């Protein structure tokens, strides 16, 4: 019964999405306020109905109702309740339902928080969100019905992929979707602006918080995904250039560009056309990402739904949403008011340069991801593109990004001279090069040295920026501190995010250049060596978990003879799915991670043990978290609060 309520709610949700799409758009074109207002109510109705459907599906998982097909295929009575609930989005149908739930959430948020928006703009934004909602709900109802029944119902479910039974992964899709789908707001705002034919600083101020929110969650989602791959997949890698990873990375790259170009629109009213294009492209890449994962068009470690019918549906959605938006763009963008000029050497110039670099980086990832498909289409050869292509093509572009990141903040808006900025960074350039040279020579790695040098340059430029801004050394310390305290939150956000990038550069460089590995077959009591550390297999125990049995290996670690405690690894066997997973033993540290993975016991009682030394590994994810938190800090800036400019003005006058 609950199941049927869910399905009915889903169908009703599609109808309210349709109302949300048609009525406000029509009202906006006829300038009828009553019709335009329908958008908000419909958006809230749509959210309520989808939440109800989602709750119904979740209750089917919670009560292990195996007459529901996806519950029977993906759950099991023995599974802990937490993973029963998270299994709701652990497969195709449920994850698409989560997708529309997030879409409706953003639509309702615009309805609730966008009261200050001009009526027509708001109506059009909601209308376009409604169109997207209608398409995705139709996709779910017609190709991926989560409430489909199974008759006769099996008495026990088929379990759940134990690899996915992990708190990190349970939180991964919702976070990623908040990012992916959040970008739809930037898309809707851009298309609405193109229809209205008006883009101004106020428009950018409305859009930026949404882009920033989406970007923060996308950053968080990608970071978590990478961390999960590191500790759960048992490979010790953190990024594989897998098509599904690329699917989330490409929107992130363009969203990063968009974030900065929208800043230029807000502050300088330049780059308007460019920002509109980026908004549409970002969401296009989100849709293509969905296409990639859901259609099974490319082979991937992740691909779990191979179904051409779904692929065709999503392809039609890409054509409708992006094709439609880009056509409107082609027709209308030229009629928008032309922006004020700026010199190539200026803050805007630097942001544009980095935008272009990020776009090229996206193109590189895109080409690498789809190259097998293109070659197959043109020559019908089957090929695959390995990580070496991505590494060699991507790294140099990122070096360019770092250089511009270091200089950009030093430049003034509109027009500046290159020479003072260069002079101000020259000592830094010299010392960063020296640092890179030394680390490169000591570590005997060209790319290691280059990466460390560039990372140091970026870090130094941030410090230099702070020194200049707080007039440190020019005025006394208390005045400098006072200047630092007057920084708006968005400035702190900028610093945290750029610092995060520098930290990640160090981590990525160290992991790429200086990771070491050794493999050995050892028996109980024997010792394996990696670098100056030894690992002795102390004990092998059998432990029972809630739905698995584990073989736990304990290793004593010592470095140059002095003991450093122990590390445990597990191999878990899940009888219900007859699957074994590896829980690698990881000792995280500020400067290095020790990583131990063990294979199964061979006939003579020896275990194949893989030891890894991962220098600065935590810096990769710490950098990602710093970037995301920088975004969240910026988001809390009062300038982003609706209607805030007036209040800020008023209080500052009162204080004066």
Partner 1 sequence: MEVGKQEKTTNTHATGLPRWLMLAPVTLLAVIAAFFAFGLTQDPHSLPSTMIDRPMPDFSLEALENGDAPLANSDLLGRVSMVNIFGSWCPSCLVEHSQLIEIGQSGLVALHGVDWRDPPGAGAAWLAQYGNPYAKTGMDRDSTLAIDLGVTGAPETFVIDRGGRIRYKQIGPITQQVWSETLLPIIRKLQSEPT
Q: Which of 87, 271, 357, 406 binds partner 1 (CB under 8 A)?
A: 271
- Answer for which of 600, 636, 647, 648 binds partner 1 (CB under 8 A) is 600
235 is a site residue for partner 1 (CB under 8 A):
yes
Which of these, 185, 291, 277, lies nearest to 243 by C-alpha position?
A: 291
Q: Which stretch binds partner 1 (CB under 8 A): 23-31, 110-118, 293-301, 632-640?
A: 293-301
C-beta of 203 vs 573, nearer to partner 1: 573
Among residue numbers 299 through 328, which ones bind partner 1 (CB under 8 A)? 299, 301, 306, 308, 311-312, 315, 318-319, 322-323, 326-327
Indicate which single residue of 273, 275, 439, 612 sits in contact with partner 1 (rule: CB under 8 A).
Answer: 273
CB count in 10 Å sphere of residue 195 = 18
Among 1, 34, 152, 335, binds partner 1 (CB under 8 A): 335
Question: Does residue 434 bind partner 1 (CB under 8 A)?
Answer: no
Residue 354 or 445: which CB sits closer to partner 1? Answer: 354
Between CA 187 and CA 442 the distance in angstroms is: 48
Nearer to partner 1, 260 or 577 (CB): 577
176 CB-near residues (< 8 Å, 6+ apart): 217, 218, 221, 222, 225, 248
> Is there binding between residue 516 and partner 1 (CB under 8 A)?
no
Under rule CB under 8 A, residue 599 binds partner 1: yes
In whole angstroms, what separates CA 25 from the centre of its chain? Answer: 31
CA distances from 337 to 14, 252, 278, 332 (A): 37, 29, 18, 11
**What's the rounded Cα separation, in Å, for the pair 188 and 210?**
11
Among 166, 196, 376, 526, binds partner 1 (CB under 8 A): 376
**Contact between 526 and partner 1 per CB under 8 A:** no
Let me know how long the chain is: 656
544 binds partner 1 (CB under 8 A): no
Which SS3 state, helix, strand or coil, does residue 642 take? coil
Short-list 169, 302, 234, CA closest to 582 = 234
- In whole angstroms, the minimum distance from the beta carbon of 525 to partner 1 comes to 19
| By CB under 8 A, residue 29 contacts partner 1 | no
For residues 383 and 650, which CB has a smaller minimum distance to partner 1 in the complex? 383
In the set 3, 184, 270, 461, which binds partner 1 (CB under 8 A)? 270
Widest pairwise Cα distance in the chain: 83
Nearer to partner 1, 310 or 498 (CB): 310
Contact by Cβ (8 Å): 532, 560: yes
Among 119, 171, 556, 608, binds partner 1 (CB under 8 A): 608
> What would the x/- binding string for partner 1 be over residues 153 to 182, using CB under 8 A?
--------x---------------------
Helix axes 477-485, 446-469, angle to 10 degrees: 100
Cα distance between residue 121 and residue 192, in whole Å: 6
Listed ranges 94-102, 281-289, 437-445, 448-456: which one lies at the site for partner 1 (CB under 8 A): 281-289
Number of amino acids touching partner 1 (CB under 8 A): 69
By CB under 8 A, residue 329 contacts partner 1: yes
**Nearest CB to partner 1, comparing residues 151 and 335:** 335
Contacts with 402 (C-beta within 8 Å, 6 or more apart), sequence order:
454, 455, 457, 458, 505
With contacts defined by CB under 8 A, name the span among 184-192, 374-382, 479-487, 613-621 that binds partner 1: 374-382
Instruction: State the Cα–Cα distance between residues 62 and 68, nearest whole angstrom.
Output: 12
Q: Which is nearer to partner 1, 499 or 597 (CB)?
A: 597
Pick 61 or 274: Cβ nearer partner 1: 274
Helix (H, G, I), strand (E, B) or coil at 654: helix
Task: Let me know: does 621 contact 229? Beta carbons within 8 Å.
Answer: no
Q: In 3-state terms, what secondary structure has residue 341?
A: coil
* CA pair distance 448, 341, nearest whole angstrom: 40
How far is it, in rounded angstroms, from Cα 218 to Cα 480?
35
Assess 399 for contact with partner 1 (CB under 8 A): no
Provide, rounded to whole angstroms, the least separation between the CB of residue 601 and partner 1.
9
Taking CB under 8 A as the criterion, the residue among 83, 139, 370, 619 binding partner 1 is 370
Task: Give me 397's structure tokens.
Answer: 């572009």
Give the other-Cβ count within 10 Å of 47's Cβ: 24
Strand order in the sheet with 562-574: 527-530, 533-544, 549-559, 562-574, 579-583
CB of 334 to partner 1, least distance (A): 6
- Shortest Å distance, C-beta 154 to partner 1: 14
Q: Does 360 bind partner 1 (CB under 8 A)?
A: no
Q: Distance (Å, rounded) from C-alpha 15 to C-alpha 373?
A: 37
Residue 596 Cβ vs partner 1, minimum distance, rounded to whole Å = 12
616 φ/ψ sector (left φ>0, alpha ψ -120 to 50, else beta) = left
Q: Does 388 bind partner 1 (CB under 8 A)?
A: no
In this complex, which beta carbon is closest to partner 1, that of residue 74 or of residue 509?
Answer: 74
Q: Which residues pair with 582 in a beta bridge?
A: 571
User: Between residues 381 and 478, which has the closer beta carbon with respect to partner 1?
Assistant: 381
Give the DSSP H or E segment for 567.
strand 562-574
Least distance to partner 1, CB of residue 124, Å: 20
- Judged by CB under 8 A, the residue of 37, 208, 610, 614 near partner 1 is 610
Using rule CB under 8 A, residue 598 touches partner 1? yes
CB within 8 Å of 587: residues ≥ 6 apart: 557, 565, 567, 593, 594
CA 549 from chain centre, in angstroms, equals 34
Please return the burial class of 233, using the count of CB atoms within 10 Å of its CB with bins 0-12, 13-18 and 19+: middle
Check: CB of residue 283 under 8 Å from CB of residue 269. no
In this structure, are residues 554 and 568 in contact, taking their beta carbons and an 8 Å threshold?
yes
Confirm or reject binding of residue 472 to partner 1 (CB under 8 A). Answer: no
Nearer to partner 1, 340 or 649 (CB): 340
Q: Considering the complex, state which of residue 313 and residue 465 has its C-beta at the smaller distance from partner 1.
A: 313
List residues near partner 1 by CB under 8 A. 161, 233-235, 270-271, 273-274, 277, 280-281, 284, 288, 291, 295, 297-299, 301, 306, 308, 311-312, 315, 318-319, 322-323, 326-327, 329-331, 333-339, 341, 352, 356, 370, 372-374, 376-377, 380, 382-384, 521, 571, 573, 577-582, 597-600, 602, 608, 610
């Amino acid at each position: 019964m609950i199941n049927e309520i869910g399905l009915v709610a889903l169908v009703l949700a599609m109808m309210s999405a349709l109302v949300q799409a048609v009525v406000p758009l029509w009202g906006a074109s006829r300038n009828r306020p009553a019709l335009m207002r329908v958008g908000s109510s419909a958006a809230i109705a749509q959210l309520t109905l989808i939440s109800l459907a989602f709750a119904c599906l979740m209750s089917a998982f919670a009560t292990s109702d195996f007459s529901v097909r996806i519950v029977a295929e993906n759950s099991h009575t023995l599974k802990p309740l937490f993973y029963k609930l998270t299994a709701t989005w652990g497969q195709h149908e449920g994850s698409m339902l989560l997708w529309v739930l997030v879409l409706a959430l953003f639509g309702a948020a615009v309805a609730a928080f966008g009261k200050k928006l001009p009526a027509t703009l708001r109506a059009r934004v909601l209308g376009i969100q409604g169109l997207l909602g209608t398409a995705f709900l139709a996709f779910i109802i017609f190709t991926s019905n989560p409430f489909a029944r199974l008759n006769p119902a099996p008495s026990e479910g088929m379990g759940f992929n134990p690899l996915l039974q992990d708190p990190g992964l349970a939180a991964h899709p919702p976070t990623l979707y908040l990012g992916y789908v959040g970008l739809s707001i930037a898309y809707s705002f851009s298309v609405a602006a193109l229809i209205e034919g008006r883009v101004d600083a106020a428009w950018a101020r409305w859009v930026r918080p949404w882009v920033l929110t989406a970007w923060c969650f996308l950053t968080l989602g990608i970071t978590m995904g990478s961390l999960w791959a590191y500790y759960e997949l048992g490979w010790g890698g953190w990024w594989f250039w897998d098509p599904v990873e690329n699917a989330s990375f490409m929107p992130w790259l363009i969203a990063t560009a968009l974030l900065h170009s929208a800043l230029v629109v807000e502050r300088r009213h330049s780059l308007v056309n460019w920002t509109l294009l980026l908004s549409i492209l970002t969401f296009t890449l989100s849709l293509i990402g969905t296409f990639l994962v859901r259609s099974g068009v490319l082979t991937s470690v992740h691909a779990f739904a191979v179904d051409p019918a779904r692929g065709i549906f999503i392809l039609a959605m890409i054509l409708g949403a992006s094709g439609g938006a880009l056509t409107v763009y082609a027709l209308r963008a030229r009629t928008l008011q032309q922006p004020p000029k700026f010199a190539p050497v200026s803050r805007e110039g630097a942001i544009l340069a980095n935008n272009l670099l990020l776009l090229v980086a996206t193109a590189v990832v895109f080409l690498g991801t789809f190259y097998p498909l293109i070659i197959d289409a043109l020559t019908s050869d089957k090929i695959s593109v390995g990580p070496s292509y991505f590494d060699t093509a991507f790294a140099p572009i990122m070096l360019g990004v770092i250089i511009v990141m270091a200089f950009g903040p030093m430049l003034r808006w509109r027009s500046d001279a290159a020479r003072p900025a260069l002079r101000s960074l020259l000592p830094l350039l010299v010392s960063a090069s020296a640092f890179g040279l030394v680390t490169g020579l000591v570590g005997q790695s060209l790319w290691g040295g280059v990466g460390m040098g560039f990372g140091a340059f970026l870090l130094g430029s941030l410090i230099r920026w702070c020194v200049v801004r707080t007039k440190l050394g020019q005025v006394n310390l208390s005045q400098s501190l006072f200047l630092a305290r007057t920084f708006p939150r968005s400035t702190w956000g900028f610093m945290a995010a750029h610092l995060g990038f520098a930290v990640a550069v160090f981590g990525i460089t160290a992991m790429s250049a200086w990771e070491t590995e050794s493999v050995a077959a050892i028996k109980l009591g024997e010792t394996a060596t990696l670098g100056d550390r030894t690992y002795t297999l102390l004990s092998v125990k059998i432990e029972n978990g809630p739905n698995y049995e584990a073989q736990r290996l304990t290793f004593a670690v010592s470095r140059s003879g002095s003991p450093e405690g122990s590390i445990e690894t597990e191999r878990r066997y899940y009888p219900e799915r007859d699957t074994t997973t590896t829980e690698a033993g990881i000792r995280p540290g500020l400067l290095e991670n020790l990583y131990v993975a063990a294979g199964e016991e061979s006939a003579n009682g020896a275990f194949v043990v893989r030891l890894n030394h991962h220098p600065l590994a935590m810096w990769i994810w710490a950098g990602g978290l710093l970037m995301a938190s920088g975004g969240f800090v910026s988001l809390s800036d009062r300038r982003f609060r609706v209607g805030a400019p007036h209040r800020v003005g008023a209080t500052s006058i009162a204080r004066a």
